[in-house]
């Protein structure tokens, strides 16, 4: 009987130790949280502020908080078929480069996953042939496995000689439960698309939205 009591005590001590260790690991307490759909007002409150955007890219001069913007990812054969519950964005401008960081939330968490899967498939298979003027277009897609983020950059040249850029765009998209977090940049200098900045803005928006959309 004494042996049984000691064994039980040992088990209880082991469980307590494991629980204590888990509590000391960053993010361990949040591991069991689930995504959910939040209200339009809540989505609006999670948009990146001017201060947050400028902290990531000090060259950004203006930031305007707006509604909509969900159509800016429909390229390379990707089309939205799901209903959008709400879309809110932070629109920013450096003078030479304009862009948006958008929260595009679907009506259900599963729809966010389905949309991102289709987007990833479309982007990774994207080529110049998917654009209106393929002889004047260069396109490059990349999936960042660690971040689970899609990047797409394309350049439209003024002619097939490809000496002068007419327009260059970059997208960085991450799924956040029932939403897609999207940063899009537009410029006339392809070296100024700044995929790294797009990724940082998307990551920061993801973290802010996640705080509100997980419990």
What is the largest distance, in Å, between two alpha-carbon atoms of the chain? Answer: 88
Q: What is the number of residues in the chain?
A: 215
State the pLDDT at residue 189.
78
Please write the tens of the pLDDT for every residue from 66-112.
998 776 788 898 887 677 889 999 999 999 999 999 999 999 999 99
Low-confidence ranges of the chain (pLDDT < 50): 1-29
Would you list the DSSP string of 38-51? --HHHHHHTSPPHH
Q: Residue 185: helix, strand or coil by DSSP? A: strand
Among residues 187, 198, 190, the alpha carbon closest in space to that of 144 is found at 198
Asked if residues 204 and 48 have their Cβ atoms less than 8 Å apart, the reply is: yes
State the pLDDT at residue 83.
78
Q: Phi, psi at residue 61, to the nearest 5°?
A: -95, -40
Please write the tens of the pLDDT for every residue from 116-125.
999 999 999 9
Among residues 182, 181, 168, 188, the alpha carbon closest in space to that of 212 is found at 181
Burial 150-188 (b: 16+ CB within 10 A, else e): bbbbbbbbeeeeeeebeebbbbbbbbbbbbbbbbbbbbe
Asked if residues 100 and 205 have their Cβ atoms less than 8 Å apart, the reply is: no
State the pLDDT at residue 31.
63
Answering whether pTM is above 0.95, one says: no
Asked if residues 133 and 124 have their Cβ atoms less than 8 Å apart, the reply is: no
SS3 content of the chain, % helix, strand, coil (to 5): 40, 30, 30
Asked if residues 183 and 210 have their Cβ atoms less than 8 Å apart, the reply is: no
């Amino acid at each position: 009987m004494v042996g049984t009591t000691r064994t039980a005590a040992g088990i209880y001590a082991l469980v307590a130790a494991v629980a204590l260790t888990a509590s000391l690991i960053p993010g361990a307490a949040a591991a069991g949280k689930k995504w959910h759909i939040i209200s339009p007002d809540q989505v609006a409150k999670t948009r990146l502020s001017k201060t947050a955007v400028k902290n990531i890219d000090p060259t950004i001069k203006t930031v305007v908080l707006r509604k909509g913007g969900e159509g800016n990812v429909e390229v390379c054969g990707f089309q939205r078929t799901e209903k959008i519950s709400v879309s809110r964005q932070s629109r920013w401008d450096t003078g030479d480069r304009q862009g948006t960081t958008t929260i595009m939330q679907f009506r259900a968490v599963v729809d966010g996953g389905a949309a991102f899967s289709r987007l990833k498939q479309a982007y990774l298979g994207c080529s110049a042939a998917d654009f209106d003027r393929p002889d004047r277009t260069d396109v490059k897609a990349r999936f960042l496995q660690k971040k689970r983020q899609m990047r797409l950059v394309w350049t439209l040249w003024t002619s097939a000689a490809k000496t002068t850029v007419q327009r260059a765009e970059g997208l960085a998209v991450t799924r956040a439960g029932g939403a897609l977090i999207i940063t899009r940049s537009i410029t006339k200098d392809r070296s100024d698309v700044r995929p790294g900045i797009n990724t940082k803005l998307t990551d920061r928006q993801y973290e802010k939205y996640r705080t509100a959309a997980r419990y």
